[in-house]
Structure formats: structure tokens, C-alpha cells
């Protein structure tokens, strides 16, 4: 009896999400959560986009897939720019503190060097790393990266991110249109697995680069 409780709770949650995501106003939820996730990296923006994508795939939604992509991309774009603005506003404070804190100075110099060396591609890859995207957009503002450069690359990054999340949900969820719960969890699990794989590859590449000087010595 108690073992069935978690399963019942999960089913209730997915059923509730199904009923919500069928409505037009759920696009506003996608937009709002995508925006907030850029500033406060504890909000599940990918999950919300996936819910909407699955709703389209199962035929429950009263909107098209492109509307999900637009809502997610625009929300994330504005959120990333808000994070940049916050970093830019507090940038002077960070740099003043760095004058008396060598470790902070070193971190700021490292962040600026990484952004300049890896360019806009770093903004694209960071968008698929929860928490990492917020850290990078804040760092871009703190280190006073050129605003127009930031806007262009963030527009590309958020469009790719929203298209990926919504498109994956649609493709994976389509074969399970008769079972909405299964469609959502398979789509969510697939997206989570891909994100974990991206993070593993990124970590290994970063570790390999850090070992190169030691090997050369």
C-alpha cells in the first residue's frame, strides 16, 4: 500500500501537468519559467518545455510546436540578458573587491580569458548545463563583455536550446501519444541522459586540457 504511494503521486503530477499543458496559457508558463531559470538556476525550464512539447506530440495542446519554441527561446533570451545586466551592474563591486583579494582576481581573470578564448560557442554549450548558463551570463556582465556580442550569441544559444528541448519531446513523445505519462517520462529521461552525457564529455575534455602542461613537462 505504502509502496504504491510514490507511483500514485507521480501519476497525479503528470496528469495535472497534462491538463495544464493543454491550455494556451501554458505558453506563458513556459516563457516565465525559462526567464526565471536564467536568473535563478533552480527552476526546471527544460522540464516545462518538454511538458509542452509532449502535449503537442500527443495532440492535447491547443498550440503548435513552434509556439513552444518561441515561448521558451524568448523567455530564456530575456532571462540571460537580465542575468548579464545584473552582472554588469555589480561588476564594479566585484572588481574593487578583487583589488584586495588575489583569489577573486584570479577567478575573474580566468573567466574573462575563457569567454574571450572560447567565444560564443561557450554560451551555446553552457545553455545545456543547468547553473552553468547562469554563471556564464553573470560572468559576461561582470567582466564587461561587449553587449552586442552577447546579445547575438545568446539569441543563437536560446533558439538552439528551445528547439532541442521541444523538438526532442515531440519526436520521443509522438510514439506514446496514447500514454501521456509514459511520453513525458521517456522524453524527460532522454533529455536528462543527453545533458548528463554532455556534462561528462565537457568534464573529460577540461580535465585533459589541464593535464597537457604536466605531460609536456
Q: What is the per-residue pLDDT across 106-163, written as a single tens digit (0 to 9) for each?
A: 766 666 777 777 778 888 888 887 777 888 888 888 888 889 999 999 999 999 999 9
Number of domains in the chain: 1
Q: Per residue in 104-120, pLDDT tens?
A: 667 666 667 777 777 78
Of 76, 69, 81, nearest in space to 27 by CA: 69
DSSP one-letter string for 41-71:
TTS-HHHHHHHHHHHHHTT--SS-HHHHHHH
Residue 192's domain spans which residues? Answer: 4-216
Q: Name every residue whose Cβ is closer than 8 Å to that of residue 36 and which is 6 or more positions away in sequence.
A: 43, 45, 79
pTM of the predicted model as reported, rounded to 2 decimal places: 0.78
Task: Tell me which DSSP letter residue 175 carries.
Answer: G
Instruction: Note whether 133 and 80 are within 8 A (CB).
Output: yes
Amino acid at each position: 500500500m505504502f509502496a504504491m504511494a510514490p507511483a500514485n503521486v507521480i501519476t497525479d503530477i503528470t496528469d495535472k501537468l497534462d491538463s495544464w499543458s493543454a491550455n494556451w496559457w501554458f505558453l506563458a508558463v513556459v516563457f516565465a519559467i525559462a526567464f526565471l531559470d536564467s536568473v535563478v538556476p533552480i527552476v526546471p525550464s527544460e522540464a516545462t518545455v518538454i511538458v509542452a512539447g509532449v502535449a503537442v506530440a500527443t495532440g492535447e495542446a491547443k498550440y503548435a510546436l513552434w509556439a513552444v519554441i518561441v515561448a521558451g527561446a524568448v523567455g530564456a533570451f530575456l532571462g540571460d540578458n537580465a542575468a548579464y545586466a545584473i552582472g554588469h551592474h555589480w561588476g564594479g563591486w566585484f572588481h574593487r573587491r578583487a583589488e584586495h583579494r588575489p583569489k577573486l582576481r584570479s577567478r575573474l581573470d580566468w573567466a574573462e580569458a575563457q569567454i574571450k578564448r572560447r567565444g560564443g560557442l561557450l554560451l551555446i554549450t553552457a545553455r545545456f548545463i543547468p547553473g552553468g548558463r547562469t554563471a556564464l551570463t553573470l560572468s559576461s556582465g561582470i567582466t564587461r563583455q561587449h553587449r552586442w556580442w552577447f546579445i547575438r550569441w545568446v539569441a543563437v544559444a536560446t533558439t538552439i536550446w528551445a528547439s532541442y528541448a521541444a523538438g526532442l519531446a515531440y519526436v520521443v513523445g509522438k510514439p506514446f501519444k496514447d500514454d501521456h505519462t509514459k511520453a513525458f517520462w521517456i522524453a524527460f529521461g532522454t533529455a536528462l541522459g543527453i545533458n548528463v552525457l554532455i556534462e561528462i564529455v565537457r568534464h573529460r575534455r577540461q580535465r585533459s586540457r589541464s593535464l597537457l602542461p604536466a605531460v609536456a613537462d
